[in-house]
A and B are shown apart, each in its own frame.
Chain A
Amino acid sequence: MLDALEDVDGIPVAATHRPESLERLATLLIDAGKSGEALVPACGRSKLHWGNAPRAKQVSLLDLAGLGSKIDLDVEEGIVTVGASTPVEALQTAAREVGKTTWLDGLYPHATVGGTIATHPLRLEAQMGKLLRDDVLGLEVMTAGGTRTRCGGRVVKNVSGFDLTRLYCGAWGTLGLVTEATLRLRPLPDEVFVRQEEFPDWKAAFDTAFGVLNADPDGLALWSESGAVSMCSRYETQPTDGGDRVDAHAWDIARKRMLQPPENGAARVRIAGRMTDVIEIRAAVAKLVGDQRIVLVLPALGAVYADIPAETLGDLFARADDGSWSVFIEAAEPGVKARFDVFGHGPESLRLMRALKTRFDPQGVLSPGRFVGRI
C-alpha cells in the first residue's frame, strides 16, 4: 500500500478511500455525489502530478489499487482482459511469456493499466499511427453515479454503437472510472535494433532524421549534449537500409532523459504538432530557454519535451497561440498550475466537452477542475 498523501497539487487530501470491491467503489461514488466530496482517482500514482490542480477546497484520494489485478490472456484470439489496477509492467511480463506485448506505455515505473488508459500518454517507442486508443477493444467503466457499464467488446473489430472506448481513453477519469480493459495483443518483436548517430548541429540531424522516418522506426529520439546532437532510432524489424547496429540499451538513454525530473522548479512541457513542425518547435524552444533544456525531440511523434522555467511559460504559450502547436505542461509546481491551464489553450470544441462532463458527472465528483479548460 502506498503512503497517505498530504495534498494533490497543493489541495489538501482530507481522506483516502481504498475500495476493495466494485460494490464498495459504487457506494463511495454515490456518497460523494450526495455530499459534494471531490474524488481524485489514483492507483500507481505515476501520473498523479499530471493535470490541473483540483477545483475544490479539499479532495479525497480514491486509491483503486485494491480492486484486483487479474490478467486473462487469450493468445489464440490475440486479446487480453486485464483489471485496471494491474501494473503495466506485470501485464507486459505476462504477455512477454507468451511472445506478445501491448501498446501500453511502459516508461513510468508503477504505472497501471487504468491510469495509462486514462491519461493516454504518448509512447516513446511508437509513431503517431500507433496509439493505445486504437488497441483498446473494450472497457468496463464505473460511472460517476456508481453504475457498472461496459463498452466495446472482446473482439478486434466492432462498430456497434458509439465508440465510447475512445472517449474514455485520455479522459483522465473525469467521465468515469475504468475498472477493466480488453486490449489487443501485439507480437513481441524477436529482436530490437537500435542505431545511434551524432551530428554537429540540428540541421544535419534533422536532415537525416526525416530520411530515417521513411524506414518507419518504432522510436526516434534526438537530443543535444555538449554541443553535438545525438540521434537514436529503434526498430522492431530489421531496418532494410543497412547501417550500424548498436546495443539495444542505447535506447535507454532516451528513456532516462524522459524519466529525469526537471530541475530548479522548471515545468516539464510537451509541445506537439505535425512531424515537420518539430524543426520549428525545437528552434522556438531553444530560442526561449536554450538547447540544454530540451529533453527530447521526437520527430515520429511530432513532439518536443523540454524543461521550461516558470517565468518563460507565458512566452511559450504566446508562441503557440494560433493553435498550430499544442502545449501540455506535464509536471509543474502548484504555483505554476495556479497560473496556467496545463493543457494550454482549450480546443474550440470545449463547449461540447463541458456538456459531456455535465452529463457524465452531473455532481462533479470525478477530479473536478483537473482536465482541459479546468473541466
Chain B
Amino acid sequence: MKNRSNNSASTSLDRPGLLRVLRGIAGIGEVLDRPADLFAYESDGLTLMRGKPLAVVVPLDRNAVAETVRACNRASVPFLARGAGTGLSGGATPIDGGVLIECSQMNRILEIDPVNRTATVQPGLINAKLSEAVHELGLLYAPDPSSQTACTIGGNIAENSGGPHTLKYGTTSPHVLALEVVLPDGEVVSLGRRDGHQVGYDLRGVFVGSEGTLGIVTAATVRLVAIPKQVCTMLVAFDSLRAACEAVSMVIARGIVPAALELMDERTIKVVEDSVYAAGYPRDARAVLLVELDGDEAEVQADRVRIESIMHERAAIEVRVAKDAAEAAAFWRGRKGAFGAMGRLAPDLYVHDAVVPRTRLPEVVEEITRIAEEEGLLLANILHAGDGNLHPNICFDRRDPDEMERVRRVGDRILEICVNAGGVLSGEHGIGLEKRDHMHLMFSEEDLDPMRWVHDSFDPDDRCNPGKQIPTPRACTESNPRHRGYDKVEF
C-alpha cells in the first residue's frame, strides 16, 4: 500500500488549526468555510434532508484528497466525498460538521485502452463525457443514469447506479474493474485489477455501492462496450398499467433480453405531453412502455417480431417502431425529461426508488397509487419495469407542514409495501440517510452485522461519511458514534 498514514505520530488539531492545514495542502483548489459558500452543499438532490459542513475542500489530485483525510483524522473530524450532488438518498449530505471533499475538479480521463476496452478516469468525470470521449472508437460506457449529463463516475460507483439500460448491461458494479481509493485513515490503495481478475476478496465489489462510507475513490478503471450495431426503439401504449406490466413479464419469461423496458403511467404521460419534453405519447393511454432492443441486425429484427407479437397478445392499443434515430430520441426525450416535467405539478418532488419482483409490479403500483390518493397526494409512476424497479414520484409543497407529514407517511408505506412484496429498499438511489432507518424492514440485526464488520474493517474510527447506509445496532443507539448527528438532520 502506498502513503500509509501516520496519524498517531502527528499532533492533533483543533478546528481553526484544521482549516489552516487544509489551506496549506498543495493540490487543493479551494477551501470554503463562509456560511454563504457552504449553503449549496447542505444537501444533495434529496433537499428534504439537510446538514451543515464545517468546510468544503476542492482537491485537484489524489494526494490532496489523502492529505485532507489525514488532516481530518488529526482533528477527529468526519469527512465525506461529493460528486455532482445529484444523489437522491442524502448520501452526500454532511452531518455533524464534517469536511466535504468536492471531487468535481478531478475530472480527467487518464487513459483509454480501446483494444482491451477499458478507460481509467478520475472520479469527478461526468458520466456522459466518457461515452462522448470514446464514441469515435465505437465504444460506450454502459451505465446510463437519467442524470448522466450531470452526475459523476465517483458518485455512480458509490451508489452502484443504474439506468434504463441496466436491464441488459447491469448496474455500475460489473463495469468497474479497479479502483484507486483513499482509505479512511489516509492510506492509498488499489482494489480490484484493471484486467478484471479477482485475487483475494472482491473488495472492489463491496466498495461499489458503499455510498462513500469506506473511502474516497480517486481513480477508476472501467469497462467499455462496443456500440451496438443496431438499435430498435419501440413505443407501446396500453389501456391499463396491469396489461403493460404483464407484457413486461412475458418478454422476460420468453427469454428476450431487451436493452431497456421503461414504463410510464397515465399521470406521467400527461405531464410529459404538457411539457417541453412532449414526445408524442398517446394522451389517452393509461401506460406507455418503451422497449429498446440492441445487438446484431438479425438478432434485433428477430426479437422485434417476437416483442410485437407479445404486445398484441397483451392487448396493446398501439405499437410504434421508431423509423430512425431521431424518432427514437423523441421517444426517449419524454422518458428522460419526465422528472423535470413533474415540476409542473407541484413545487417539490420526492423521487422514491424501490424494487419488487417484476410479476408483483401491477398490484404494488396499484396499492401505492391508492394510498397516495387516500392521503390526497399527487403521485406519478416511472418504472424500470424490466428490473422490477419502480419510481413512485410524489409531487408536493414543502411549505405545507400537513402535506409534508403525509409525504413522509406515504414514503414509509411505499417501502413497507415493496419489502412485503418480496422486494428491496432501493434499486439504484441507495440508502443514504433517507432509508437508513428502514434497513430493518429488510434485514435482521444478524444480517446487518456482516455489513458492520466490513465497515469496521475499513473505517474503525467511523470518520468516513458517518451515519449513512447502515443503521446503528439497536442496542447501542445511544453510545455508538455512528448515531452522531442523526437527530440534527432535518426532514
Chain B residues contacting A164 (CB-CB under 8 Å) are: 206, 450-451, 454
Chain B residues contacting A134 (CB-CB under 8 Å) are: 170, 173-174
Chain A residues contacting B200 (CB-CB under 8 Å) are: 343, 346-347, 349-350, 353, 371-373, 375
B310: Cβ under 8 A from any A Cβ: no
Contact B210 A170 (CB under 8 A): no
A89: Cβ under 8 A from any B Cβ: no
Contact B193 A326 (CB under 8 A): yes
Partner of A348 from the list B190, B449, B453 (CB cut-off 8 Å) is B190
Chain B residues contacting A159 (CB-CB under 8 Å) are: 159-160, 162, 171, 209, 426-431
Partner of B299 from the list A154, A237, A353, A355 (CB cut-off 8 Å) is A237
Contact B384 A275 (CB under 8 A): no
Partner of A240 from the list B183, B255, B256, B298 (CB cut-off 8 Å) is B298
Contact B358 A77 (CB under 8 A): yes
Contact B428 A344 (CB under 8 A): no
Which of B287-313 touch A at CB < 8 Å? 295-299
* Interface hub of B2, B113, B199, B430 (most chain A Cβ within 10 A): B199
Taking the nearest CB of chain A, how far is it from the CB of B370, in angstroms? 22
Which of B260-275 touch A at CB < 8 Å? none
Chain A residues contacting B255 (CB-CB under 8 Å) are: 99-100, 187-188
Query: In the complex, what distance in Å separates the CA atom of A176 from the CA atom of B297?
Result: 46
Query: In the complex, what distance in Å separates the CA atom of A187 from the CA atom of B166?
Result: 17
Query: In the complex, what distance in Å separates the CA atom of A214 from the CA atom of B114?
Result: 12
Which of B333-379 touch A at CB < 8 Å? 355-359
Known pairs A346-B199, A347-B200; A162 contacts B446 (CB<8 A): no
User: Main SS of the interface on chain A?
Assistant: loop
Known pairs A133-B202, A149-B449, A302-B196; A156 contacts B456 (CB<8 A): no
Query: In the complex, what distance in Å separates the CA atom of A212 from the CA atom of B299?
Result: 18
Contact B173 A274 (CB under 8 A): no
Taking the nearest CB of chain B, how far is it from the CB of A127, in angstroms? 10
Chain A residues contacting B209 (CB-CB under 8 Å) are: 159, 162-163
Taking the nearest CB of chain A, how far is it from the CB of B438, in angstroms? 9
Chain A residues contacting B448 (CB-CB under 8 Å) are: 161
Contact B115 A276 (CB under 8 A): yes
Find the B residue at minimum CB distance from A158: B424
Taking the nearest CB of chain A, how far is it from the CB of B145, in angstroms? 12
Contact B195 A76 (CB under 8 A): no
Contact A273 B387 (CB under 8 A): no
Taking the nearest CB of chain B, how far is it from the CB of A2, in angstroms? 28
A359: Cβ under 8 A from any B Cβ: yes
* Interface hub of A161, A176, A187, A373 (most chain B Cβ within 10 A): A161
* Interface hub of A76, A347, A371 (most chain B Cβ within 10 A): A347
Taking the nearest CB of chain B, how far is it from the CB of A220, in angstroms? 15
A120: Cβ under 8 A from any B Cβ: yes
Q: How large is the interface on B (under 10, 10 to 19, 20 to 34, 35 or more residues)?
A: 35 or more
Taking the nearest CB of chain A, how far is it from the CB of B452, in angstroms? 9
B189: Cβ under 8 A from any A Cβ: yes
Chain B residues contacting A332 (CB-CB under 8 Å) are: none
Q: How large is the interface on A (under 10, 10 to 19, 20 to 34, 35 or more residues)?
A: 35 or more
Contact A157 B389 (CB under 8 A): yes
Known pairs A160-B424, A176-B450; A78 contacts B253 (CB<8 A): yes
Known pairs A157-B384, A240-B296; A143 contacts B428 (CB<8 A): no
Query: In the complex, what distance in Å separates the CA atom of A273 from the CA atom of B194?
Result: 8
Contact B431 A275 (CB under 8 A): no
Contact B115 A275 (CB under 8 A): yes
Query: In the complex, what distance in Å separates the CA atom of A328 from the CA atom of B195?
Result: 15
Taking the nearest CB of chain B, how far is it from the CB of A235, in angstroms? 11
Which of B440-478 touch A at CB < 8 Å? 442-444, 446-451, 453-458, 469-470
B182: Cβ under 8 A from any A Cβ: no
Contact B446 A148 (CB under 8 A): yes
A14: Cβ under 8 A from any B Cβ: no
Query: In the complex, what distance in Å separates the CA atom of A100 from the CA atom of B443?
Result: 30
B321: Cβ under 8 A from any A Cβ: no
A284: Cβ under 8 A from any B Cβ: no
Find the A residue at minimum CB distance from B257: A187
Contact A150 B203 (CB under 8 A): no
B280: Cβ under 8 A from any A Cβ: no
Partner of A151 from the list B195, B430, B447 (CB cut-off 8 Å) is B447
Find the B residue at minimum CB distance from A273: B195
B191: Cβ under 8 A from any A Cβ: yes
Contact A344 B469 (CB under 8 A): no
Known pairs A76-B249, A240-B297, A352-B458; A272 contacts B197 (CB<8 A): yes
Contact A161 B388 (CB under 8 A): no
Partner of B457 from the list A131, A151, A238, A355 (CB cut-off 8 Å) is A355
Find the B residue at minimum CB distance from A175: B201
Pick 27 A–B contacts, CB within 8 A, sort by A: A76-B359, A129-B225, A147-B449, A148-B446, A151-B447, A157-B388, A157-B389, A159-B160, A159-B427, A160-B439, A164-B206, A166-B173, A167-B203, A169-B202, A170-B202, A272-B197, A275-B115, A326-B193, A326-B195, A326-B199, A344-B199, A348-B2, A348-B190, A355-B457, A359-B454, A359-B457, A372-B199
The 6 closest A-B pairs by CB, nearest first: A166-B205, A187-B255, A359-B453, A355-B457, A372-B200, A157-B387
Known pairs A148-B446, A161-B469, A237-B296; list 15 more (Cβ under 8 Å): A75-B253, A77-B358, A77-B359, A133-B202, A133-B205, A143-B446, A149-B449, A159-B427, A159-B428, A166-B202, A166-B208, A237-B299, A274-B113, A326-B195, A371-B200
